[in-house]
Structure 1
Amino acid sequence: MNIKLMAVGKTDDKHLQALIDVYQKRLGHYIKFELDIIPDIKKAKNLSEEQQKQKEGALILNKLQPTDMLVLLDENGKQFSSVQFSDYLQKRMNAGTKTLAFAIGGPYGFSKEVYSKAQGKISLSSMTFSHQMVRLFFIEQLYRAFTILKNEPYHHR
């Protein structure tokens, strides 16, 4: 299985990016992982929230292959413990999912089209995090999940 994380806008904090790079490299020991950065919408200040979601949504949907399973990182999604998340990933692998594509939306969330294409929603927390920090937290949780699946000592039960 391949895992893809799509996110709108680049990470402009070099410290966050360095940590993202660390966990992205670690993940490579377990699975093929791709961080796909969708460029910020140009002249977004001239657009309504709905127009911005539409443009970002089209870019997200264009990055998907027909066989990809899309899961949104969304505040209204299902919350997992780290162990439950590792079980979720194992079930996706057992089901033969070719590419599991996770998406982090822009500042206003996702368009209706993206919601209708999604096959699941996951929430990392009831709290709100910056889009840049969510990338780090999610990639670290992916890494943690694979160490759990491999019974490695990174995660303490």
Structure 2
Amino acid sequence: MMKILILQVGKTKEKPYQEIEAEFLKRLKPLASVEKATIETSNQEMENQVLSTKIAKISHKTKGEYFIVALDCSGKAFSSEELANFLLQKRDQDSGKIAFVIGGPHGFTPPTLQQADLILSLSKMTFTHQMVRLFLLEQMYRAFTILAHKKYHY
């Protein structure tokens, strides 16, 4: 089973967002092992410094085995089918471990972004980091249902 880590800055604060997150995590449970790790900081410099250190620890480049995907509007855009194929490829060809990194309200500094193996864009538009979490979870669920041939994606 694929292991996915969602590394995020700040907790999801609003209850409706928490409920949607919980629902998609529940739906993903039989399809993939998904874990969340939250970084709590109060300023942008510290935020990126902590993110950078955490990325270095888990990256496959430093024997941590995770393929690092940073979510940023400057990145490569995938269709839902392309995301499903990407996850399949990573599951079958690599360690099967992917870390999706979601920056805070200020985004990533260039050095932090350079640590990523892939920069992925969910849209060219800017969203709150809390909404990005929901979009990512929904797209991951959609991708895994595509791979499992379950009715969800039409």
Same fold (TM over 0.5): yes
Partner residue of 2:58? Answer: 64
The RMSD of aligned alpha carbons is: 1.7
Q: Which residue in 2 is equivalent to 1:10?
A: 11
| Alignment of structure 1 residues 42-81 onto 2, 5 Å | 42=42, 44=43, 49=44, 51-58=45-52, 60-61=54-55, 64=58, 66-81=64-79
Runs of 4+ aligned residues of structure 1 deviating over 6 Å after TM superposition are: none
State the TM-score, normalized to the length of structure 1. Answer: 0.87
State how 1:75-114 maps to structure 2 within 5 Å: 75-114=73-112
Q: Is the 8 A contact 1:68 1:99 kept in 2?
A: yes
Letter in 1 for 2:134: L
Cα offset, 1:53, TM superposition: 4.8
Partners of 1:93 and 1:17 in 2: CA distance:
28
Contact 2:21-2:133 at 8 Å conserved across structures: yes
For residues 57 and 20 of structure 2, the distance between their equivalents in structure 1, rounded to whole angstroms, comes to 25
Alignment of 1:25-44 (within 5 A): 25-39=26-40, 41-42=41-42, 44=43
Q: CA deviation at 1:79?
A: 0.6
Instruction: Name the counterpart of 2:142.
Output: 144
Percent identity over paired residues: 38
Paired with 1:119 and 1:133, the residues of 2 have a C-alpha distance of 23
TM-score (norm: length of structure 2): 0.88
**Pairwise CA distance, 1:70:** 0.6
User: Do the aligned partners of 1:53 and 1:108 also contact (CA within 8 Å) in 2?
Assistant: no
Q: Contact 1:38–1:60 (CA<8 Å) still a contact in 2?
A: no
Write out per-residue CA displacement over residues 122-154 of structure 1, whole angstroms, 9 at most, x where no aligned residue: 100111111001001100100000000011111
Q: Which has the larger radius of gyration?
A: 1
For 1:94 and 1:130, how far apart are their aligned partners in 2?
32
- Is the 8 Å Cα contact of residues 8 and 105 (structure 1) preserved in structure 2? yes
Structure 1, 63-72 or 11-20: larger mean CA deviation: 63-72
Is contact 2:55-2:68 (8 Å) kept? no
Partner Cα distance (1:33, 1:103) in 2: 13
> How many correspondences in the alignment?
149
Q: Are the structure 2 counterparts of residues 113 and 64 from structure 1 closer, same or farther at C-alpha, using a change threshold of 3 Å?
A: farther
- Equivalent AA in structure 1 for residue 5 of structure 2: K
